């Protein structure tokens, strides 16, 4: 299922200018020295020449609040706000800025992103949400990052680019709008007709004819409307509904290593893809070798006959330019591609590279031990990089926090744990409550009931007293508000060893309610 994000930046031109001004150090120094360090910034508009007049092009929030709209003449606008700050608009620079924003999105969210001039970008997040733990976290992450950079933004996600575009612009809410899969039609129905990106004047004329909402347009007979307005109207409607394809042509940075193959005949089988991937990686490896670089990220784009772009993205644990290795990583993901009517061109881009010195060819390679980076890449690209980790010790007095998970091959040496402290090999997380018969205050349990089963304790060792980390979160731990645990190792009558703790020190109520939990099992 395709999922497209439309990021709408209602004040793109002015926000961009404000950001730029803020970044200039001399300007910020001057404003800091001035007596009123801009508590309420002056309303800002950009102006463009139009038939010998200068008209307002883009309006920031302060100016909008004063009633200034784009399309007004500057004279008119100055009537609303005498202290109006006017800067010449630069549509070309606005577009370049959008391109940079789209490139940033390709690095962080999805290989397929493109500017949507004049004031938005598209991101095709199909299959990219797993890395963030789902679509909602991805969108929230994007929204926070965009807001934090000082841009006003509205975000919508939908099945089609047209629907996401319309919703992002027409639903002014303070948070991202998510149109669930299959709900594009319902969402579009209630929007006004001009949400459909129609040609100039078309929406006005439709409204004169009585078409207010898209649902009326969907219900109306097509032929008379098509005769009057041309094919564009229904093309836009069908694109928004997903009946016609609306490809997003992804943007690449100009200076990154890139290899491309246009194919004489459209291909659609995994074997054919694998063959082209082999060619592309060989080409790219030659480019990388010349530049003395190794790839850390690879994006492989598939250009379908119907203009639709799909992409697969792989990463490597160490910079690499071994064509066989890179091809193997890419081939693992071929099955995520829907070839449709066939793929007519493939492009391989390496957006992230690192210097890699030449290595001497080595006939004894097989003897030097396993090729760990290759294996780790293969596993990480199949299961996700976060699913691969090594464990190392972390100083903490709570056993569940004694482990730090680090990416494999990340560190030269990992720390071990204190051999004197007994630690179970299987943890029960979160700890489960058990019914215990024990003498207070310090005797180990004589019997406990766990998951409905009764265990008689034959032998026990303990207690090992652990104090909660009161210094975390100002004296109150978020997850364990009670602070003292007395751990006992117990051996049941049949020899099983378990780790049981009592919450509370037995004398002060504040340290815990004296209830018992099971936290793990020993060998």
Partner 1 sequence: MRQSAVLDQLREQIATIEGSAAPKAVLPFGLESIDARLPGGGLSCAALHELAGSTALADDAAATVFLAGILARTEGPVFWCLRWRDLFAPALDLAGLSPDRVIYVEAGSDVNVLTAMEECLRHSGLGGVVGEVKALSTTASKRLQLAAEKSCVPAFVFRRALPLDAPASGTAAVTRWRLRAHPSEALGIPSLARPRWALALERVRGGEPQLWIVEGCDATGRIALPAELVDRPDRQEAQAAA
Q: Choose between 223 and 419: whose C-beta lies nearer to partner 1.
A: 419
**Least Å distance between CB 445 and partner 1?**
12
Q: Choose between 48 and 391: whose C-beta lies nearer to partner 1.
A: 391
Q: Choose between 43 and 399: whose C-beta lies nearer to partner 1.
A: 399
| Rounded distance between C-alpha atoms, residue 373 and residue 345, angstroms | 30
| Rounded distance between C-alpha atoms, residue 422 and residue 445, angstroms | 18
Give, as ranges, the residues between 490 and 509 that touch partner 1 (CB under 8 A): 491-498
**Least Å distance between CB 383 and partner 1?**
5
**Least Å distance between CB 459 and partner 1?**
6
Q: Choose between 136 and 493: whose C-beta lies nearer to partner 1.
A: 493
Q: Choose between 211 and 498: whose C-beta lies nearer to partner 1.
A: 498
**Least Å distance between CB 432 and partner 1?**
11
Q: Give the binding range for partner 1 (CB under 8 A) out of 1-9, 110-118, 132-140, 411-419.
A: 411-419
Q: Side-chain half-sphere of 475: how many Cα atoms within 13 Å? A: 1
* 154-158 sheet: strands from edge to edge: 113-116, 120-124, 4-8, 154-158, 177-178
| Rounded distance between C-alpha atoms, residue 371 and residue 383, angstroms | 19
447 binds partner 1 (CB under 8 A): no
Give, as ranges, the residues between 43 and 82 that touch partner 1 (CB under 8 A): none
Q: Choose between 272 and 466: whose C-beta lies nearer to partner 1.
A: 466
283 binds partner 1 (CB under 8 A): no
Tokens 């530049």 belong to 291
Buried b (16+ CB within 10 A) or exposed e, 484-511: bbbbbbbbbeeeebbbbbbbbbeeeeeb
Binding residue (CB under 8 A) for partner 1 from 25, 37, 369, 452? 369
Residue 116's alpha-carbon distances to 96, 120, 175, in angstroms, are: 11, 5, 20
Beta-strand relationship, 85-88 and 44-50? parallel
Q: Give the binding range for partner 1 (CB under 8 A) out of 125-133, 256-264, 412-420, 477-485.
A: 412-420
439: which DSSP letter?
-
Interface pattern 9-28 for partner 1 (x via CB under 8 A): --------------------
Beta strands in 268-341 (DSSP E): 293-304, 309-320
133 binds partner 1 (CB under 8 A): no
Burial degree of 321 (CB within 10 A; 0-12, 13-18, 19+) = buried
252 binds partner 1 (CB under 8 A): no
365 binds partner 1 (CB under 8 A): no
Q: Choose between 218 and 324: whose C-beta lies nearer to partner 1.
A: 324
Q: Choose between 36 and 523: whose C-beta lies nearer to partner 1.
A: 523
Q: Give the binding range for partner 1 (CB under 8 A) out of 18-26, 85-93, 180-188, 376-384.
A: 376-384
Burial degree of 298 (CB within 10 A; 0-12, 13-18, 19+) = buried
Helix boundaries (H) for 24-90? 25-33, 61-65, 74-80
Q: Give the binding range for partner 1 (CB under 8 A) out of 222-230, 279-287, 304-312, 515-523.
A: 515-523
Take residue 277 and report the two structure tokens written for it: 């991937």
Binding residue (CB under 8 A) for partner 1 from 379, 398, 446, 447? 379
Binding residue (CB under 8 A) for partner 1 from 461, 467, 476, 479? 461
Binding residue (CB under 8 A) for partner 1 from 53, 459, 467, 509? 459
Q: Which residues pair with 192 in a beta bridge?
A: 213
Cβ atoms of residues 155 and 142 within 8 Å: yes
Q: Omega before 303 cis (within 30°)?
A: no
Cβ atoms of residues 121 and 98 within 8 Å: yes
**Least Å distance between CB 495 and partner 1?**
4
Which residues neighbour 104 within 8 Å (Cβ) at sequence distance 6 or greater? Answer: none
| Rounded distance between C-alpha atoms, residue 302 and residue 346, angstroms | 5
Where on the chain is the footprint of partner 1 (CB under 8 A)?
Answer: 366, 369-372, 374-376, 378-379, 382-383, 387-393, 399, 402-403, 408, 413-417, 419, 421, 423-429, 444, 458-461, 489, 491-498, 520-523
């Amino acid at each position: 299922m395709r999922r497209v994000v439309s990021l709408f930046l209602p004040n793109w031109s002015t926000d961009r200018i404000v950001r730029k001004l803020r970044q200039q150090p001399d300007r910020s120094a001057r404003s800091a020295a001035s007596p009123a360090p801009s508590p309420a910034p002056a309303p800002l508009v950009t102006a463009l020449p139009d038939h010998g007049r200068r008209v307002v092009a883009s309006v920031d929030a302060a100016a909008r609040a004063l009633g200034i709209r784009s399309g007004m003449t500057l004279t008119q606008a100055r009537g609303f706000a005498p202290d109006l700050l006017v800067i010449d608009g630069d549509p070309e620079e606005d577009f370049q800025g959008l391109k940079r924003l789209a490139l940033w999105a390709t690095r962080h969210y999805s290989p397929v992103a493109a500017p949507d001039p004049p004031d938005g970008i598209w991101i095709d997040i199909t299959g990219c949400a797993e890395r963030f733990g789902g679509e909602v976290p991805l969108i929230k992450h994007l929204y926070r990052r965009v807001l934090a950079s000082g841009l006003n933004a509205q975000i919508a996600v939908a099945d089609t680019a047209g629907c996401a575009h319309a919703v992002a612009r027409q639903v002014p809410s303070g948070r991202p709008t998510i149109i669930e899969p299959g709900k594009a039609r319902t969402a579009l129905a209630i929007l006004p007709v001009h949400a459909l990106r129609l040609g100039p004047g078309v929406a006005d004329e439709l409204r004169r004819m009585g078409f207010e909402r898209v649902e009326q347009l969907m219900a109306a007979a097509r032929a008379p409307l098509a005769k009057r307005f041309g094919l564009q109207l229904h093309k836009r409607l069908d694109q928004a509904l997903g009946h016609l394809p609306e490809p997003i042509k992804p943007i690449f940075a100009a200076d990154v290593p890139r290899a491309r193959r246009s194919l004489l005949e459209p291909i659609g089988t995994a074997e054919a893809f694998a063959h082209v991937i082999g060619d592309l990686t060989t080409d790219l490896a030659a480019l990388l070798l010349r530049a003395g670089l190794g790839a850390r990220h690879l994006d492989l784009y598939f250009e379908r006959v119907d203009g639709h772009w799909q992409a697969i993205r792989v990463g490597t644990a160490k910079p690499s330019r071994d064509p066989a290795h890179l091809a193997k990583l890419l081939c693992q993901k071929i099955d995520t591609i829907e070839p449709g009517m066939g793929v007519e061109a493939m492009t391989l881009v390496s957006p992230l590279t690192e210097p890699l010195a030449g290595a001497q060819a080595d006939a004894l390679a097989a003897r030097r031990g396993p090729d760990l980076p290759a294996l780790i890449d293969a596993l990480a690209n199949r299961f996700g990089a976060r699913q691969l980790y090594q464990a190392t010790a972390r100083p903490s007095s709570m056993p569940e926090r004694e482990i730090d998970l680090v990416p494999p091959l990340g560190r030269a040496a990992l720390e071990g744990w204190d051999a004197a402290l007994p630690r179970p090999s299987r943890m029960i997380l979160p700890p489960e409550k058990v019914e215990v018969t024990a003498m207070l205050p310090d005797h180990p349990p004589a019997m406990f009931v766990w998951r409905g089963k009764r265990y008689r304790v034959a032998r026990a060792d303990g207690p090992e007293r652990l104090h909660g980390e009161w210094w975390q979160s100002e004296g109150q731990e978020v997850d364990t508000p009670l602070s003292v645990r007395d751990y006992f190792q117990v051996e049941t009558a049949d020899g099983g060893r378990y780790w049981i703790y009592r919450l509370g020190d037995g004398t002060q109520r504040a340290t815990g309610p004296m209830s018992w939990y099971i936290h793990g099992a020993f060998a």
